[in-house]
């Protein structure tokens, strides 16, 4: 399970976002949830994809400025992070390299093609002006992806984003979350505000930090959102196109303030569970177990750490000393964030540690892999090319020029290294904002 970044702030009296463990793109969360469900509960994810038939190549220079190709029309799928429903995972990008476009250039999506991989020429820029719902006539300045799941159960992944609605500091703040609905052509239309009934809210905290999952076991995606004072808002899906949960929303008790995704069926009972952290940064955490009425039962508690992940290896907690594994064994690895995936396709869960001097891999979650496949921030872990092995999308920025970056896709391999030596794909997010 991994955390995510909070939205920006605006307006007098805004209490500001609570710090979070870290920011992870939607594809990583959705894929991690599907992987963990399969690993821990014995359930399958989306439909199988065909073997890879070819791969995109690096985009540089003029090629990075090529015209945008239309999003292929999909018919719906159960694949995680698949906004156009064509059976291939897509990649969400929040931090876009840009110059002179304000604080928030928007959210980028690179669409995948089944059996092929991500195709940067098939992309979509979600700007607040075009895609965000205004509040009191004002377009949000902040616009960041938070979670992705099929909230209306139509076969197309939807994107939950955070905004900064105006707030004068008096009374209960507005809900900053909006839903951008997927469609056969990807994200379509303006967002709608998430409706949280008064009975499912507590206190005057900002209702944010959404986590997707099937917490009541009915096969439909739900949302868990921060409330306050040790409580969460449980919003059972499916959701209406106006942003309201069709089920009965309610408060659920919690042992902490920060619900953290991706959700996973930790105890194998057929319902998703959610990790709840005491606060951002280094903090203790507890699993809130799902059930017929949502996440109510307190599960295992974990020691203080910056991140927690689950897999076939059990539980991994990232502490100041390294990765603490089940049974009390510690692997000395430097980093701040954990991700999981099956990089060599052997059915085990591999562990990726990032946020240090370079990415570090633990095969089967416990055996350190010599060397590092380079630095950068992990955006997503997913089987982009459909070969049965997960790949890693990493964003690397330039110290010399923050307006320059590269996104590389490192392909999973059956070798002992777990990842191919050379990137399968490389491009700059500047292609979204090039004029």
In this prediction, residue 435 carries a pLDDT of 59
Please check whether residue 391 is in contact with residue 383, taking contact to mean a CB–CB distance below 8 angstroms: yes
In this prediction, residue 102 carries a pLDDT of 61
In this prediction, residue 291 carries a pLDDT of 95
The pLDDT tens digits for 362-395 are 999 999 999 999 999 999 999 999 999 999 999 9
Would you place residue 402 in the very low, low, confident or very high pLDDT band (cuts 50, 70, 90)? low
Cα 323 from chain centre: 21
Q: Tell how strand 425-427 and strand 117-126 pair up.
A: unpaired
Could you give the percent of the chain with pLDDT greater than 70?
83
Q: What is the mean pLDDT of the chain?
A: 85
In this prediction, residue 101 carries a pLDDT of 57
Q: Identify the three-state secondary structure at position 118.
A: strand
What is the rounded average pLDDT of the residues 317-345? 95
Would you place residue 67 in the very low, low, confident or very high pLDDT band (cuts 50, 70, 90)? confident
Could you give the percent of the chain with pLDDT greater than 90?
74
What is the rounded average pLDDT of the residues 45-53? 32
Q: Which residue has the higher pLDDT, 435 or 281?
A: 281
Would you place residue 44 in the very low, low, confident or very high pLDDT band (cuts 50, 70, 90)? very low
Residue 22 has pLDDT above 60, yes or no: no
Residue 111 has pLDDT above 90, yes or no: yes
Would you place residue 349 in the very low, low, confident or very high pLDDT band (cuts 50, 70, 90)? very high
The pLDDT tens digits for 74-100 are 999 999 999 999 999 999 999 998 876
The pLDDT tens digits for 145-191 are 999 999 999 999 999 999 999 999 998 999 999 999 999 999 999 99
**Alpha-carbon span 290 to 286, nearest angstrom:** 13
In this prediction, residue 154 carries a pLDDT of 98
The pLDDT tens digits for 251-279 are 999 888 899 999 999 999 999 999 999 98
Instruction: For the chain, count helices (H), then strands (E).
Output: 3, 27
* Residue 32 backbone zone (phi > 0: left; psi -120 to 50: alpha; other: beta): alpha
Residue 38 has pLDDT above 70, yes or no: no
**Alpha-carbon span 94 to 145, nearest angstrom:** 7
Q: Is 172 exposed, middle or buried (0-12, 13-18, 19+ CB in 10 A)?
A: middle
Residue 59 has pLDDT above 50, yes or no: no
Residue 66 has pLDDT above 80, yes or no: no
Count of alpha carbons within 13 angstroms of residue 392, beta-carbon side = 33
Residue 406 has pLDDT above 70, yes or no: yes
**Alpha-carbon span 251 to 111, nearest angstrom:** 36
Residue 203 has pLDDT above 60, yes or no: yes
What is the rounded average pLDDT of the residues 405-433? 95
Please check whether residue 340 is in contact with residue 354, taking contact to mean a CB–CB distance below 8 angstroms: no
Residue 397 has pLDDT above 50, yes or no: yes
Please check whether residue 330 is in contact with residue 318, taking contact to mean a CB–CB distance below 8 angstroms: no
The pLDDT tens digits for 208-244 are 999 999 999 999 999 999 999 889 999 999 999 999 9
Would you place residue 404 in the very low, low, confident or very high pLDDT band (cuts 50, 70, 90)? confident
């Amino acid at each position: 399970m991994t955390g995510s970044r909070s939205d920006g702030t605006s307006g007098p009296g805004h209490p500001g976002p609570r710090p979070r463990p870290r920011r992870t793109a939607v594809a990583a969360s959705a894929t991690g949830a599907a992987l963990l469900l399969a690993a821990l509960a014995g359930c399958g994810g989306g439909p199988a994809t065909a073997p890879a038939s070819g791969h995109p190549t690096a985009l540089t220079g003029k090629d990075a400025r090529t015209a945008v190709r239309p999003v292929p029309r999909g018919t719906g799928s159960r694949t995680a992070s698949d906004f156009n429903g064509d059976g291939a995972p897509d990649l969400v990008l929040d931090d876009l390299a840009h110059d002179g476009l304000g604080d928030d250039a928007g959210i980028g999506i690179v669409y995948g093609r089944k059996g092929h991989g991500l195709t940067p020429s098939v992309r979509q820029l979600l700007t607040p002006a075009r895609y965000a719902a205004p509040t009191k006539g004002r377009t949000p300045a902040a616009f960041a992806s938070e979670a992705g799941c099929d909230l209306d159960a139509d076969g197309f992944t939807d994107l939950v984003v955070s905004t900064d609605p105006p707030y004068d500091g008096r009374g209960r703040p507005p809900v900053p979350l909006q839903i951008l609905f997927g469609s056969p052509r990807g994200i379509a239309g303006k967002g709608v505000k998430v409706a949280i009934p008064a009975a499912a809210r507590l206190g005057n905290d900002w209702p944010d930090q959404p986590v997707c999952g099937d917490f009541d076991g009915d096969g439909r995606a739900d949302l868990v959102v921060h409330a306050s004072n040790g409580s969460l808002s449980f919003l059972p899906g499916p959701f209406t196109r106006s942003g309201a949960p069709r089920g009965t929303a309610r408060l659920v008790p919690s042992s902490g303030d920060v619900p953290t995704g991706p959700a996973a069926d930790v105890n194998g009972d057929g319902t998703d569970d959610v990790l709840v952290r005491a606060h951002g940064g280094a903090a203790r955490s507890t699993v809130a177990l799902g059930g017929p009425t949502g996440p109510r039962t307190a599960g295992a508690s974990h020691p203080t750490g910056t991140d927690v992940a689950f897999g076939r290896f059990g539980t991994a907690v990232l502490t100041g000393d390294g990765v603490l594994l089940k049974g009390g064994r510690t692997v000395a690895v430097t980093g701040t964030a954990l991700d999981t995936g099956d990089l060599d396709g052997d059915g085990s869960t591999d562990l990726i540690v990032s946020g240090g001097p370079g990415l570090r891999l633990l095969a089967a979650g416990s055996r350190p892999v010599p060397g590092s496949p380079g630095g950068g921030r992990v955006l997503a872990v997913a089987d982009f090319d459909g070969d049965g092995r997960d790949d890693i999308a990493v964003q690397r920025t330039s110290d010399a020029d923050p307006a320059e970056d590269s996104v590389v896709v490192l392909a999973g391999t059956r070798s002992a290294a777990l990842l191919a030596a050379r990137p399968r794909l490389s491009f700059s997010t500047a292609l979204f904002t090039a004029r």
